[in-house]
């Protein structure tokens, strides 16, 4: 619920519109306030005319009709100016999309050139220069991941996230994702284990490459936010006719006050910023969009300093 102070703050229309960089005539808050005032004023005028000057109900009805038409025209022109906002939002998504596409080409050039240098195909690089090469490689990879995340976000916002649904094994997907993070995890003494039931599980139905992004995000977070040595448990199990994928860690956890924001775009919890400044705050936003578009549910349980469990469900083939 909005607090009293927040509600009062919204009445300061000028500050509100300024915050979003909108001119008064394009600012919804101002337009609705104006609209309200116009409606109240016309109702008053109608009342005064009807009771004091004109006794004929026919003429009063006519006046009401004329005023309604004027109000209709006004409302229409107001909504037209709101269209500008929708257009601005579309342009923003398009901008992100174009920029990320354009960034991909130079990034893949960088990636391949670095790969050649590190492979030693044309001569070994050793000692300090090799360390610098590794820094370049790591940061190119980071940039690449960020650009990919931005591309996914822009697709989500334009409603163009591709979903190629098919049957797949969620256990295989979990194994692949774990294999990818094993090296990073063992470097920081974190053990990733997979727990699956003994009986065979049904196939999941969804876009496996998209859901792999979600699984990797969960495991990445679990490893990243585990302090010192620890264990990350990945589970795949049946749940009410769907399949449940969950990742449990004993890491830093999420403070209670931050929990409601955790799936918001660009949100990063205050406590993790102390341990880990890297991260875009896009991962869980993307995860939520993908899971929901797949017809599943997503959620988590977390306690600060005790750890978190993130899970999603995915439909099985009917």
Partner 1 sequence: MQKKILFVEDEAALQKTLGDVLEQEGYRVIRALDGEAGFKMAQAENPDLILLDLVLPKMHGFEVLKALKSDEATKSIPIIVLTNLESMGDIEKALELGATTYLVKASYSLEEVVNKIKKALGE
Q: Which residues bind partner 1 (CB under 8 A)?
A: 101, 104-105, 107-109, 111-113, 115-116, 119, 121-122, 144, 148, 162, 164
Q: Which is nearer to partner 1, 115 or 305 (CB)?
A: 115
> Cβ contacts of residue 163 below 8 Å, gap of 6+?
206, 207, 210, 293, 294
User: Shortest Cβ distance from residue 147 to partner 1 (Å)?
Assistant: 8
Q: Which is nearer to partner 1, 216 or 249 (CB)?
A: 216
User: Shortest Cβ distance from residue 112 to partner 1 (Å)?
Assistant: 4
User: Shortest Cβ distance from residue 148 to partner 1 (Å)?
Assistant: 8
User: Shortest Cβ distance from residue 245 to partner 1 (Å)?
Assistant: 23
Q: What six digits make up the tokens of 6?
A: 């927040």
Q: How far apart are CA 171 and CA 153, in angstroms?
A: 27
Question: Which one, of 148, 144, 162, 247, lies nearest residue 210 by Cα?
Answer: 162
Q: Which is nearer to partner 1, 68 or 158 (CB)?
A: 158
**Helix, strand, coil tally for the chain in percent (to 5):** 60, 15, 25
Q: Which residue has the tokens 């660009």?
A: 266
Q: Which is nearer to partner 1, 21 or 162 (CB)?
A: 162
Strand partners, 192: 232
> Cβ contacts of residue 89 below 8 Å, gap of 6+?
none
Sign of CA dihedral 201, 205, 208, 210: negative
User: Shortest Cβ distance from residue 32 to partner 1 (Å)?
Assistant: 40
User: Shortest Cβ distance from residue 177 to partner 1 (Å)?
Assistant: 17
Q: What values do phi and psi take at 56, rounded to 5?
A: -75, 115
Q: Which is nearer to partner 1, 68 or 109 (CB)?
A: 109
Q: What six digits make up the tokens of 316?
A: 């099985």
Q: Which is nearer to partner 1, 42 or 210 (CB)?
A: 210
User: Shortest Cβ distance from residue 187 to partner 1 (Å)?
Assistant: 20
Q: Which is nearer to partner 1, 94 or 115 (CB)?
A: 115
Looking at the chain, list the stretches that DSSP marks H as alpha helix, in order from N- to C-terminal side: 4-11, 13-19, 28-48, 57-119, 128-157, 170-187, 208-224, 256-259, 270-275, 283-293
């Amino acid at each position: 619920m909005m607090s009293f102070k927040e509600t009062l703050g919204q009445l300061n229309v000028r500050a509100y519109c300024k915050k979003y960089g909108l001119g008064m005539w394009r600012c919804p808050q101002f337009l609705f306030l104006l609209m309200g005032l116009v409606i109240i004023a016309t109702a008053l005028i109608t009342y005064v005319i009807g009771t004091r000057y004109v006794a004929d109900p026919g003429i009063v009805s006519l006046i009401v009709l004329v005023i309604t038409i004027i109000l209709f025209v006004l409302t229409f022109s107001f909504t037209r100016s709101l269209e500008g906002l929708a257009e601005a939002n579309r342009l923003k998504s398009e901008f992100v999309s174009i920029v990320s596409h354009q960034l991909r080409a130079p990034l893949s050039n960088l990636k391949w050139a670095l790969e050649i240098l590190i492979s030693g195909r044309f001569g070994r690089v050793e000692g300090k220069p090799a360390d610098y090469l590794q820094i370049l490689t790591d940061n190119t990879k980071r940039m690449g991941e960020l650009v990919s995340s931005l591309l996914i976000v822009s697709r989500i916002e334009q409603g163009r996230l591709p979903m190629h649904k098919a049957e797949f094994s969620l256990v295989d997907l979990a194994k692949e994702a774990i294999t990818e993070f094993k090296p990073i995890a063992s470097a920081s003494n974190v053990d990733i284990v997979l727990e699956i039931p003994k009986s065979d599980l049904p196939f999941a139905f969804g876009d496996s490459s998209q859901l792999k992004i979600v699984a990797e995000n969960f495991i990445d977070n679990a490893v990243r936010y585990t302090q010192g040595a620890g264990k990350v448990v990945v589970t795949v199990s049946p749940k009410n006719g769907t399949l449940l994928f969950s990742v449990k860690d004993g890491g830093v956890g999420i403070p209670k006050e931050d929990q409601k924001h955790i799936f918001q775009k660009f949100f990063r919890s205050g406590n993790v910023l102390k341990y880990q400044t890297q991260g875009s705050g896009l991962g869980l936003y993307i995860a939520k969009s993908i899971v929901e578009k797949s017809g599943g549910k997503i959620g988590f349980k977390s306690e600060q300093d005790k750890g978190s469990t993130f899970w999603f469900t995915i439909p099985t083939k009917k």
